[in-house]
Amino acid sequence: MTSKMYLSLALHNHQPVGNFGWVFEEAYQKSYLPMIECLERHPDVRLALHYTGPLRDWLLENKPDFFPRIRALVEREQIEILSGAYYEPVLAALPDKDKVGQIQKQTDSIKGDFGYDPTGMWLAERIWEPHLARSIAQAGVQFTIVDDTHFKNVGYVDEDLLGYYVTEEQGNRLRIFATPMLMRELIPWKPVPEVIDWLRVQAGRPDTTGRYAGRARVAIFGDDGEKFGLWPGTYSYIWEEGWMERFFTALEENQDWLITIPPGDFAREHSSLGRVYLPTASYQEIGEWSLPPDGAWELPHLRHTLQIEGRNDITHYMRGGLWRSFMVKYEEVNQLHKKALWVSRKVHSMEDGALKTEALNHLWAGQCNCGYWHGVFGGVYLFHIRVADYQNLIQAENLADKVEDTPFVRVESIDFDHDGVDDLVIATDRQNLILNLNKGGSLIEWDYRLLHYNLLNVMTRRCEGYHRDLIAAAQAGTVITPDSDGLQAEPESIHSTVVRAREGHLEQKLIYDWHRRASLLDHFLGEDATLNSFYRSEYPEQGDFINQAYLQEVTSQSDKELRVRIWRDGKVWQGASQIPVHVEKVLNLEAGSDSVEVAYHLRNDSDSVLDVRFGIETNWGFAGGNDSHTHLAIGEEMTSLAEIASASDVSALRLVSELWNIRADVDLDLPATVWRFPLESVSASEAGFESNYQGTTMLCLWPILLQPGESWRINLKFQLGRLRL
């Protein structure tokens, strides 16, 4: 006779801030709605649901009859609603006030929507750090769910995890459930009888440690709701072919020994298995994805090899990196995170009231986690997600700075990106500029505050560990594309070894930049550098100005005007000789102005003639740069930002985004040759490898011939504006 046990299912439903409306709609039709319909047909199946704030907002506006159906399930005690941090941030990365505030906002919304006071919460990406117990408990939450990875890192085994434990931080207590990876691999990827058989084995497992003496056992399954219909191939498998219907029917048929229960009810009715202190961890895959490229490829392949060999005694203790390493792996993630910290300090210093509440909501929306990391899902590689995060952060900062009150200009030397070296932060009522003095005196963020848009929201092209799989499959001729047979033949988990691509020959787009793509980068090029070699980042750089330190001084400052001088005395290689060269750029900004003027001064400080090409690189993060709504105008010519091209004798150009109502004019007082090309990433997604437009690089190039001691000057004016009022 099979012993009785409990099964607690928790489904996490999420769409990020800024995601396309059609994605919300597809997820609703393929996943969220079918699940509620299935629960209505199976009233004896009890579980927990979590809907993040961005998804809640969309559902309330677009599907007003949906939440009343869920409320009916709550009222008949079939469904438990989980709280969480409203905009689904990585909780560990937030200031404590934002942690508590986001959780309380979600809890309050659940009370209003369902008349239900939640006791548990979903932890975004199960990213856990020990200090979180304090903030979560202070927000009124009693329990959360993590992965078995967290427990196994401190020596627990599968047999120890059929219940919950209690942890604390500074006396603030929190209950913690663990969801086994094996359950995520079974549900829904294996036949229903196999899932039930596994649960029967757990119910009958001998209690060799005495841990369960007098205690009930519960198997916890916590995972994304989107895997039930939205993931590639799953809608047909889960709903049309009836996997979920069979699963819920099997749960009802086995109620004599397998009892479904929401985790909050189990925690309330049963005692804990003891005390636990967990390490910094997330689910296993994030530990792999956050490693540098070689490690991100090697660790999962090594783990897979050992699993085949049955060496669980080794894999049990294997762990990768931690989520915070994404802020090292991707400079763009670090920039976004430090922007959020910067804005948070400003917002929390505001006086309480409606204005601060509005600013907090924008701040918290800008902390939505999807733009802050990358794994199998697009994450930081999704342009529109980064745009939305920046848009909300800039709106929050505008409210904190009261930009509509009085024109101003300010400058601050501070370590903005927290790398140990001060950066230059310039703010006016119309623009924000952040310059990295340690990396070429480059402009790394440029916010047009009027339209809440970061013009430098681009991605540097970099190596990813999974590129090795794409290259190997391309060489073997086994890449499956939309034109291949059997594209959707089988539903696949994120652990699938099949290599899919949304288009052919993506391996040819694997180009890696040797420096961060920023603006006001100073290049010296010889005759061997061509547009193609520059595009492919395979050219000889002859100066030592990129990625090197610049000095700065504020030469003039008032309430209305600012002038900042940035310079470096470096070297240019000319044959076997090193030519000392002075490069100086002076930035001029005015309060109330949408323009930036940059005056360049080059001086040959050697006894030799300097014969070279000098280039100023700018990068432009216009979302939709590869479609008809965004274009570049050079004279009378209108062209795409996604073209690889060169133009001669250019004195002025204009970049336009009709989607964002932005124009940017660039005027040069000396005509230049302009090279341009798109930044395209090749990233992994749940649907396979894909190429995504990430911005456009432009290089304004001039021939320089300077006698010893001779100087050369160029003035640039950048003028921002709206296309229409």
Tell me if 389 sits within 8 A of 90, measured CB to CB: no
- The answer, yes or no, to whether the previous bond of 263 is cis (omega within 30 of 0) is no
The rounded distance, in Å, linking the Cα atoms of 220 and 6 is 9
Quote the crossing angle between the two packed helices 53-62 and 96-114, to the nearest 10°. Answer: 30
**Is residue 279 helix, strand or coil?**
coil
**Is residue 284 helix, strand or coil?**
helix
> Residue for token digits 């704030």?
53
Compute the chain's Rg from CA coordinates.
28
Distances 153 to 223, 310, 610 between C-alpha atoms, Å: 20, 19, 60
Residue 224 is a catalytic residue: yes
Query: Which residue is catalytic, options 125, 148, 594, 686?
Result: 125
Strand partners, 610: 706
The amino acid present at 301, given as its one-letter code, is H
Q: How many CA atoms lie within 13 A of 264 on its CB side?
A: 22
**387 — phi, psi (to 5°)?**
-55, -45
| Sign, Cα dihedral of 121, 126, 132, 133 | positive
Query: Which residue is catalytic, options 26, 159, 168, 224?
Result: 224
How many Cβ atoms are within 10 Å of 724's Cβ, its own excluded? 6
Tell me if 37 sits within 8 A of 247, measured CB to CB: no
- The answer, yes or no, to whether the previous bond of 188 is cis (omega within 30 of 0) is yes
Residue 658 is a catalytic residue: no
The rounded distance, in Å, linking the Cα atoms of 640 and 427 is 31
Check residue 709 and give left, alpha or beta (phi > 0: left; psi -120 to 50: alpha): left
The rounded distance, in Å, linking the Cα atoms of 428 and 520 is 19
Residues involved in catalysis: 125, 224
